[in-house]
Amino acid sequence: MPPEKIKPVLSNELENSTFKMILNSIHEGVCIVDHTGEVLLWSKGAEELFGVKSDQIVGKPLENFFPNALLLEVIREKKATENVLVSPRDNTYVVVSGRPLFLNGQFVGAVSTDKEVTEIMNMATELEETRGRLELLQEEVSKLREDKYSFGNILGRSRIIKNKIARAEQVAKIAASVLIVGESGTGKEIFARAIHQASGRQGPFVAVNCSAIPDNLFESEMFGYVAGAFTGALRKGKAGKFELANQGTLFLDEIGDMPAHMQAKLLRVLQEGKVNRVGAEKAIDIDVRVISASNRELEALVENKLFREDLFYRLNVVKISLPALRERKEDIPLLLELFIKEFCQQNNLTVPKLTPEVFGSLMSYDWKGNVRELKNTVQHLVVFSNDGKIDLSGLPEHILEDSIGSRPEGDSIFDLQKRIEVVEIETIRKAMKMVDGNKSRASKLLNIPRSTLYYKMNYYGLKDLLGQ
């Protein structure tokens, strides 16, 4: 029997009042079409899900109402399709399954069952966003426990680093943007975290490395996106870094590497205090304090038209320039002592002693990688220490070679290092004499830690003073 002759029989069956009552009583929507795609039955559940009444659609092509309907594909392929997620209207999600209908082996139509999952999708989205925030908070708690980011825990007693800490403390309570500049390894993020911690802001500290995000993902990472904004987007969208940092601090590291097209958008967000997710029509209000950092001179980038001047002034309300380690070498003994103890505690090792020769090499080295390089070097030294001491054999080759290559071949009044050594020796001797050989009082008089005084006395061979 051809399909067109089967259709009246099928229609009469569907008109059965008991059958229709059963279909209309179930929660899911049900749609039945014939082999041409004409709607034969449209249940109450389908009316509620799709907002179309039965008397509007029955007897008419389904394609007129839903051009991309799953049942049209089932009719074409004559194959079942299971659990396809569709969004028939804004903020509504439905899982649709469709199956072909065969009578006596002949294809006569198709049926779909549609189940609304909007509430489940909303819960999944909330769970996903909550999980993201939880992971961020867990990461922050972990970092706070490990390093205790605060001004009191920034390592260094030199005058220059104390001045920088004082400047950062002064600006912490003010909601002004801060630009931190300095070479890699000078502690820009540590300062940024300390400023956030002292600010009293209730939201989290969110760090972004601008040089690590691909250009084509920058906008979605910073501002987030809505569902379906682009291929590969999460079904319910994703919050961006600005939203995650709401009520807190957003740290933009290596800001000089931010793509040009993003600089204008960042400026607009900072000016308006609103952020637009990619694909969204409505802006979201945010309250975010921005701290940016760079190891490049932004002024030079502005002059060369590589960085927006208006954005630079917006970020550079307060500027903090961190010194390189070679500019505060008096902090090296303190850092050495703390890093050695910290690494040994973490690895359950006995703390080795540093020989004067190694100490001298570390003091004369330039530390282009700054504190980060010093910390890594300390770990190397401890690993390769022997018999409870760190000697020259444990020095990394490049530091050892630099130390050997920097030794003067002869005396010279222009040898600044030698002149400094002479001044330090004379100053230590005078200080020790003034306090009658009391090393604790001498270290206070010299404004250096007692451990530094011992290091220098060992280094300069002041055995007569050591014995006092």
Protein fold of 327-466: Helicase, Ruva Protein; domain 3 (1.10.8)
Please write the tens of the pLDDT for every residue from 201-227.
988 999 999 988 888 888 888 988 877
pLDDT for res 357: 82
Work out the average pLDDT over 392-408: 72
Topology classification of domain 3-116: Beta-Lactamase (3.30.450)
The predicted model gives 240-256 an average pLDDT of 93
**CA pair distance 85, 217, nearest whole angstrom:** 26
Lowest mean pLDDT among 84-98, 281-295, 326-340: 84-98
Beta carbons of 129 and 112 less than 8 angstroms apart: no
Q: What is the mean pLDDT of the segment spanning 446-467?
A: 78
Residues of the chain with CATH 1.10.8.60: 327-466
State how far the Cα of 56 lies from the Cα of 190, in Å rounded to an integer.
Answer: 66
- Spelled out in words, what is the top-level CATH class assigned to the domain 121-323? alpha beta
pLDDT at residue 419, as a whole number: 62
Q: Tell whether the torsion through CA atoms of 146, 151, 156 and 157 is positive or negative.
A: negative
Could you tell me where in the chain the CATH 3.40.50.300 domains are found? 121-323
pLDDT digits (tens, 9 = 90+) for 35-69: 889 998 888 888 888 888 988 989 899 999 988 88
Give the 3-state secondary structure of residue 86: strand
Portions of the chain given CATH number 3.30.450.20: 3-116
Distance between CA atoms of residues 23 and 446, nearest Å: 92
pTM (two decimals): 0.59
How much is the pLDDT for 205? Answer: 92
In degrees, rounded to 5, the angle at the alpha carbon of residue 275 between the alpha carbons of residues 272 and 280 is: 130
